[in-house]
């Protein structure tokens, strides 16, 4: 999507082999946006209405959900654009779509990083008072600003310079950007450098440290003789916790790579990718629909909140006056470390 004047042999001057292919990509985009919109709105509503979900970690989950909601709304317009051979809405709308998508996707990636760092601090910090000192409201607010600021800087560049330009791409039938040919380091390269390498490194290191810390803690505990049923239960709980963290680490890394790496890979190989870049962009958008599943439904409090929403909806449909409170939570008392381990990975 980095060069608008790419030559190709497709009819109509685009990279698609047939209109059926365009229908498929558009349909996949609509489905991903619909699922992502519902899922992220449910996450937002749950955090706003369930006090137990209003934690430091969920500040970033909330921010992530907001970014993903905006991504799903804007990506829907991309799904419409690909169905026509020319732009069907004003050019300023197309520029807004390109600007918004890049900003929200960048913010979404940064939110994943903040969640990983937050969990690392929460799990490896034994004292709850220390955890609260490290993650004060002021520091959390600053972190939220940082999730939006770098993407906004990158996406503002085409608006204030000739380095790149937002607009309609007739080759891919989408709203994207055009890099200036006078610069060797293209705008696509800048996006790839700012959005991916550092974030992925921090994400990987954070979850790796979490895994190593939990494994070390579990082994040190299991090293003692278990002379009572209580000790046996504690050992079993620690090992189950280790397995859970390992699964979350594996799942987060796989989904992150699956959804984001193909797009940046094809972006780097633009001259050889053709319509593969459109499929990679659809996968990238689908990350917004997968995030609620990974970062919300695996959390027992979110599951309870969602169950409460469904129960209330059924009650309203049956015209009954008794409404279940949103977010029925487990009565089990947990420590700060337990809560962070249950926090969506």
**pLDDT, greater one: 186 or 172:** 172
Decide if pLDDT at 227 tops 60. Answer: no
62 CB-side CA count, 13 A: 17
What's the residue count for the chain?
345
Tokens at 201, concatenated = 């490194």
What confidence tier does 271 reach under pLDDT thresholds 50, 70, 90? Answer: low
Look at residue 3 in the predicted model and tell me its pLDDT: 43
**pLDDT, greater one: 341 or 61:** 61
What confidence tier does 278 reach under pLDDT thresholds 50, 70, 90? Answer: confident
**pLDDT, greater one: 51 or 10:** 51
Phi, then psi, of 342 in degrees rounded to 5: -85, -15
**pLDDT, greater one: 82 or 8:** 82
pTM of the complete model: 0.79
Please report the sign of the dihedral spanned by the C-alpha atoms of residue 44, residue 45, residue 48, residue 50: negative
C-alpha–C-alpha distance, residues 334 and 274, integer Å = 52
Q: Domain ranges for the chain, please list them.
A: 11-342
Tokens at 278, concatenated = 């459109």
Give a three-class secondary structure readout of 63-120: HHHHHHHHHHHHHHHHHHHCCCCCCCCCHHHHHHHHHHHHHHHHHHHHHHHHHHHHHH
C-alpha–C-alpha distance, residues 265 and 9, integer Å = 23
What confidence tier does 11 reach under pLDDT thresholds 50, 70, 90? Answer: very low
The CATH number that domain 11-342 falls under is: 1.20.1070.10
Please report the sign of the dihedral spanned by the C-alpha atoms of residue 70, residue 145, residue 251, residue 302: negative
Look at residue 140 in the predicted model and tell me its pLDDT: 92
Look at residue 136 in the predicted model and tell me its pLDDT: 87
Q: Where are the beta strands (DSSP E) in the chain?
A: 164-169, 174-179
Q: What is the pLDDT of residues 246-257, one digit of tens each?
A: 566 567 667 877
What confidence tier does 40 reach under pLDDT thresholds 50, 70, 90? Answer: very high
Look at residue 150 in the predicted model and tell me its pLDDT: 93
Q: What is the pLDDT of residues 123-140, one digit of tens each?
A: 777 656 667 777 888 999
Look at residue 94 in the predicted model and tell me its pLDDT: 95
Tokens at 130, concatenated = 């220390």
The pLDDT > 90 percentage for the chain reads 30
Look at residue 182 in the predicted model and tell me its pLDDT: 67
Look at residue 9 in the predicted model and tell me its pLDDT: 40
Mean local confidence (pLDDT), 203-217:
83
Look at residue 23 in the predicted model and tell me its pLDDT: 95
CA-based nearest residue to 83, from 172, 13, 22? 22
**pLDDT, greater one: 239 or 192:** 192
Rg (CA), the chain: 23
Q: What is the pLDDT of residues 279-338, one digit of tens each?
A: 988 998 888 888 778 766 677 777 788 878 877 777 777 655 444 454 444 433 343 433
Look at residue 67 in the predicted model and tell me its pLDDT: 94
Q: Are strands 164-169 and 174-179 parallel, antiparallel or unpaired?
A: antiparallel
**Which among 17-26, 48-57, 333-342 has the top mean pLDDT?**
17-26
Average pLDDT, the chain: 78
Look at residue 10 in the predicted model and tell me its pLDDT: 42
CA-based nearest residue to 329, from 62, 128, 53? 53
CA distances (Å), origin 294, targets 84, 109, 249, 342 = 34, 14, 11, 12
């Amino acid at each position: 999507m980095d060069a608008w004047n790419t030559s190709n042999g497709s009819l109509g001057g685009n990279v698609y082999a047939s209109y059926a292919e365009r229908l498929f990509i558009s349909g996949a985009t609509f489905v991903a946006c619909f699922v992502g919109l519902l899922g992220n709105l449910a996450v937002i509503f749950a955090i706003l209405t369930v006090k137990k979900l209003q934690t430091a970690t969920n500040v970033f989950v909330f921010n992530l959900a907001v970014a993903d909601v905006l991504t799903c709304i804007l990506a829907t317009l991309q799904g419409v654009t690909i169905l026509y051979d020319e732009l069907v809405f004003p050019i300023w709308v197309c520029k807004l779509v390109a600007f918004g998508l890049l900003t929200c996707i960048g913010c979404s990636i940064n939110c994943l990083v903040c969640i990983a760092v937050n969990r690392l601090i929460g799990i490896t910090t034994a004292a709850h008072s220390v955890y609260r000192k490290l993650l004060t409201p002021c520091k959390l607010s600053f972190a939220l600003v940082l999730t939006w600021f770098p993407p906004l800087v990158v996406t503002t560049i085409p608006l204030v310079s000739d380095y790149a330009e937002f607009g309609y791409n007739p080759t891919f039938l989408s709203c994207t950007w055009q890099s200036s040919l006078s610069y060797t380091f293209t705008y696509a390269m800048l996006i790839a450098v700012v959005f991916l390498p550092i974030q992925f490194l921090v994400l990987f290191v954070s979850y790796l440290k979490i895994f190593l810390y939990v494994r070390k803690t579990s082994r040190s505990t299991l090293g003692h003789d278990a002379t009572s049923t209580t000790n046996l239960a504690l050992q079993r709980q620690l090992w189950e916790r280790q397995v859970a963290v390992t699964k979350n680490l594996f799942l987060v890394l796989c989904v992150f790579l699956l959804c984001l790496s193909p797009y940046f890979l094809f972006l780097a190989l633009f001259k050889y990718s053709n319509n593969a870049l459109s499929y990679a962009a659809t996968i990238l958008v689908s990350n917004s629909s997968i995030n609620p599943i990974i970062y919300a439904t695996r959390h027992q409090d979110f599951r309870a909140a969602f169950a409460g929403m469904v129960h209330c909806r059924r009650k309203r449909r049956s015209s009954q006056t008794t409404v279940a409170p949103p977010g029925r939570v487990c009565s089990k008392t947990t420590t700060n470390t337990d809560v962070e381990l249950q926090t969506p990975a």
